[in-house]
Structures are given as C-alpha cells and as structure tokens.
Amino acid sequence: MFLADTAVIFKKLSFPPRMSTSGFGVVPGRLLAYDPRFERGINPGPVGPEPFDVIRKEAAPMKHELSAELATVRDLALQAGEILLDSMGKEMRIEQKTATEFVTDVDRRVEDMLIGKIQKRFPGEAILAEESGASRGSGERTWYIDPLDGTTNYAHGYPFFSVSIACGDPAGLRFGAVFAPYLDELYLAEAGRGAMLERPVHGETRDLPKREPVSLDHALLATGFPYVRDETVDRNTGLVGDFLKARCHGVRRGGSAAIDLAHVAVGKLDGYWEWRLRPWDTAAGTLVAREAGALVTDFAGRDILIPVEHIVAAAPGLHDRMRTILAPVLAAAGGD
C-alpha cells in the first residue's frame, strides 16, 4: 500500500520455499534461476549468494555465429538479466512516476550499466532510454533501451518481465535483443539475417522459422493497457470483447510489450495489439518479430520504423483480419 504523503516506498517480496518440478528453486526472499538439473532429479544444493551463477556456469556457448555488434548486445542483455534476477525478491526502492506507473532502483541500476557499456563500446552514438531520456550522438545510429519492461510485474513479484535493447538508423532497425531471464528466453535479431531464440541455461539455440499464416479462429492474441486510465482503456476493453466474439482462441495481457512481440515471433502468440507505447518498449521486439516473418505496423497498416502510438503485430493472414477489427475503433478515436 502506498502512503498518501509520499511517492516512494520500499518493498521486499517474499516467495514461499519450494523446489519446483519446473526447474526453479526458490527460497524466501531469493530467486534461483532455472537449473536443468532439477529436471534430471538432481538437487544442485543450497542456494548460494549469487543465484544467477547457474546461468553463468551452465550457459552453453552460442552455436550460431553472430556479428560482433549483436554479440555485444547479447552479452549486455545477459548482464542485465543477471541484475534483474539477483535483485528480484529483495528490498527495492519504488517511485511513482504517475498514479499507475512505477520505476524501481533496479530499473535505474540496469539502465546505468547498459548506457555506460554502450557509450564505451560505441562512443558518440545516440541513446534513447526509458529513465534517462535522450542523449544526442554524433552519428546516425540510435540505441533504444528499456532496462526493465514490465516494471509493475517485477515490483509485484510477477515473473513476466524483460530487458529490451535495440539499435537503428534512418534506414531501419539494425539489431536487437529481448531477454526474459525468468523464462530463460533470449531473442536476438539482426536486419536481414533472421531471428533466433537462445535458452542460455537450457543450452539451446535455434533459428526462428518464418511465421506461417494463421486464421483468427485459430489465433491466441495479446494486448496491453496504457498507464493513463482514460477513454483508451474503454476502447481497448471493447476491442478485447470484439476479438473474443470473433472467436479467437483467447486474449492475454502479459504486461511486457517486448515479450509479447517476441512471442508473436516464436509462435507462442499469433497476434498482439496495443495503444500508446514508447520506442524503447517496441524497438527490439519489432525487429525480432519482423525478422521471423510477422507483420508489424500501426493500426492503419503503415510499416513505420518503430510503431508506438498504436501497434499491431501478427502472423501473415491474421494481420489484415486484426486490422479490420481495429480500424473502426481507430477511426472513432480520431486516428488514421
């Protein structure tokens, strides 16, 4: 509960002790990253002081050859994920940006680390980050950083969160990474070279095949809601009903746009739409989805660099069908 006279609280998340058959070991106030030894019936022993050591020690080397730049982005994403997992369940400082939007000290710590290392590795390049805002560069490239996409989830101990890192220039998005550390899912993409999914702890890496067409009556969809609780919430709630009545398999609300886009890429979701996002929310996920053959546009179907005012991502065949449902709501909202 937030105190009326302050916008800052401290919160400690506690998790009940358990040894999960899914491969996650949890003790009160601590989170141990996925350890495949659990699936083989082996108890890896007590939780040590560094729960992410499991990923450091057991991650397999990449089987796919990456460009030097994408390899750097991969390493940065893994380092960010380490901080997120290690800090989950501990005391954290939570500040309210607005009545429903939060930032934690973990967001800031991860962002500071990423900016510092990007500036050292790619000096003079522009950066647009969620907490720090924009820093101008001397070249044409811009980095888009969301250190913790799904902050509200993270603050509540809900394990659907990610780090999102992308780089683009006037010609388009060049490379990006979305890492959901609790899920052990690292999505990587480079323009023109496709997308891949690495599961660092599992020791698995595979290229993402191009999405095949999907019909709406066989589709699982996802959406999100803006922090500002105004008429857009009503519009989107209505759209949830419209898609359900159109007989899709269901509509999910995960709380991380980057993961939703990556899940459209990998086929866990077939379509996704949302209003009022920001470039750092969608940049990396947009590239991953496009490189996997999904269509990512605004509601009007425009193939813009990074859709933010409204975005729809879907498998071929489904994208147009979703847009026909979205179009009248967009028109009623005065959009184009």
Q: Any idea what the CATH number is for the domain that residue 275 is in?
A: 3.40.190.80
Q: Give yes or no: residues 223 and 197 share one domain.
A: no
CATH of the domain at 127: 3.30.540.10
Range name among 50-54, 163-167, 192-196 with the lowest pLDDT average: 50-54
84-114 pLDDT, tens digit each: 999 998 888 888 777 677 789 999 999 999 9
Q: Return mean pLDDT, the chain.
A: 83
Q: Give yes or no: residues 179 and 107 share one domain.
A: yes
> What pTM value is reported for the model?
0.82
Q: Which of 207, 194, 176 is nearest to 282 (CA)?
A: 176
Angle at the Cα of 11 (from 9 to 17), degrees rounded to 5?
175
182-199 pLDDT, tens digit each: 999 999 999 999 999 999
pLDDT value of position 52:
36
Surface-to-core class of residue 139, CB atoms within 10 Å of its CB (0-12 exposed, 13-18 middle, 19+ buried): exposed
Q: Give yes or no: residues 181 and 287 share one domain.
A: no
* CB-CB contact of 162 with 180 (8 Å): yes
Alpha helices by DSSP H, listed for the chain, are 53-58, 68-87, 105-121, 151-155, 231-245, 257-266, 279-291, 318-332
Distances (CA, A) of 251 to 122, 189, 193, 239: 40, 26, 31, 10
* 95 three-class SS: strand
Tell me, yes or no, whether 196 lies in a domain.
yes
Pairing of strands 8-11, 18-19: unpaired
Q: Give yes or no: residues 314 and 171 share one domain.
A: no
First-last CA distance in the chain: 40
